[in-house]
């Protein structure tokens, strides 16, 4: 998993301060280890493989006889339908349980989570964090959140009301591209600094610094 050091935190805080010196806007940078535990993904995999086991033995019933013979073979009589169905149930439940236990490992669970699921949940969490900690926290509604989810290697940018009126989503594309490029290279702090610098220029264009500006949100990285 990507990690942030004290030097990284200081660098990010300095970038926020520099961006806000040119604008009345407020930049909020948030980093979190992950946006979701994805326990339901483990359950989905367990159910899928349970069904796969049942489907396999339904398609190739002779395989179940061979398993039964391997486990319980010898001089006893061949198993009847009741014994075979019981064996099938045990195998299916055992498969289900083993998969759930194996997927208790967060890194493995993350690796088996579809990219689209990660993207949706990172976006959902970013909006929740924005609404709770940044939306309408500034007098001019000029706050913008950069949200970084380290385990997923994904980020989101969420802007406040006043910014939506003068920009569109494409405006933040350059900042997001700079952030993602550094993330892929394993440099999350440098990515945040690059994105903050680009966002600062956008804020300075639309909301240049005035004497009435107050620093309404601390200039530091928020870690959840």
DSSP per-residue codes, 136-157 = T-STTS-EEEEEEETTTTEEEE
Q: Locate 153 and state its tokens.
A: 């290697």
Residue 16 shares a structural domain with residue 121: yes
Sign of the CA dihedral with 3 first, then 7, 10, and 16 last:
negative
Residue 144 shares a structural domain with residue 178: yes
Q: What is the C-alpha separation between 33 and 95, in angstroms, rounded?
A: 30
Name the residue range of residue 59's domain.
39-111
CATH code, domain carrying 211: 3.10.310.50
* Residue 59 neighbours by CB distance under 10 Å: 8
Residue 139 shares a structural domain with residue 214: yes
98 beta partners: none
Are the C-beta atoms of residues 177 and 194 closer than 8 Å to each other? no
pTM: 0.80
Q: What is the C-alpha separation between 110 and 181, in angstroms, rounded?
A: 21
Residue 97 shares a structural domain with residue 119: no
Q: Locate 212 and state its tokens.
A: 């009435």
What is the maximum span of the chain, computed from C-alpha positions, in angstroms?
Answer: 94
Asked, for residue 196, whether it belongs to a domain, the answer is: yes
Which CA distances in Å does 163 have to 72, 99, 136, 169?
71, 46, 12, 10
* pLDDT tens across the length of the chain (224 residues): 678 889 989 999 999 888 888 887 788 899 999 999 999 999 999 999 999 988 988 888 888 888 877 777 655 556 677 777 888 888 889 999 999 999 999 999 999 999 999 999 999 999 988 888 666 666 667 788 899 998 998 899 888 877 777 776 677 888 888 898 888 888 889 999 999 999 888 888 888 877 665 656 777 888 88
Residue 140 shares a structural domain with residue 194: yes
Q: What is the C-alpha separation between 193 and 143, in angstroms, rounded?
A: 17
Q: Locate 63 and state its tokens.
A: 């395989």
Q: What is the C-alpha separation between 223 and 148, in angstroms, rounded?
A: 10
DSSP string, 20-75: HTTBS-EEEEEEES-S---HHHHHHHHHHHHHHHHHHHHH-HHHHHHHHHHHH-SS
Q: What is the C-alpha separation between 118 and 1, in angstroms, rounded?
A: 15
Q: pLDDT tens-digit profile of 87-128?
A: 888 888 999 999 999 999 999 999 999 999 999 999 999 998
Residue 44 shares a structural domain with residue 118: no
Sign of the CA dihedral with 160 first, then 165, 170, and 175 last:
negative
Domain-terminating residue out of 111, 140, 171: 111
């Amino acid at each position: 998993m990507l990690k942030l050091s004290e030097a990284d935190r200081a660098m990010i805080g300095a970038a926020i301060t520099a961006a806000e010196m040119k604008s009345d806007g407020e930049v909020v940078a948030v980093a979190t280890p992950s946006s979701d535990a994805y326990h339901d993904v483990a359950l989905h995999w367990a159910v899928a493989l349970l069904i796969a086991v049942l489907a396999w033995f339904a398609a190739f019933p002779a395989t179940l006889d061979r398993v039964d013979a391997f486990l319980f073979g010898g001089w006893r009589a061949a198993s009847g339908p009741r014994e075979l169905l019981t064996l099938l149930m045990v195998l299916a439940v055992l498969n289900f349980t083993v998969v759930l236990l194996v997927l208790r490992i967060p890194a493995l669970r993350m690796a088996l989570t579809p990219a689209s699921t990660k993207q949706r949940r990172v976006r959902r969490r970013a909006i929740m964090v924005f609404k709770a900690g940044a939306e309408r926290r500034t007098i001019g509604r000029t706050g913008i959140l950069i949200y970084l989810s380290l385990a997923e290697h994904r980020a989101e940018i969420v802007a406040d009301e006043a910014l939506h009126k003068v920009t569109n989503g494409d405006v933040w594309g350059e900042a997001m591209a700079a952030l993602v490029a550094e993330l892929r290279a394993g440099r999350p702090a440098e990515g945040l600094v690059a994105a903050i610098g680009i966002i600062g220029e956008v804020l300075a264009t639309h909301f240049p610094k005035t004497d009435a500006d107050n620093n309404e949100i601390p200039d530091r990285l928020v870690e959840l």
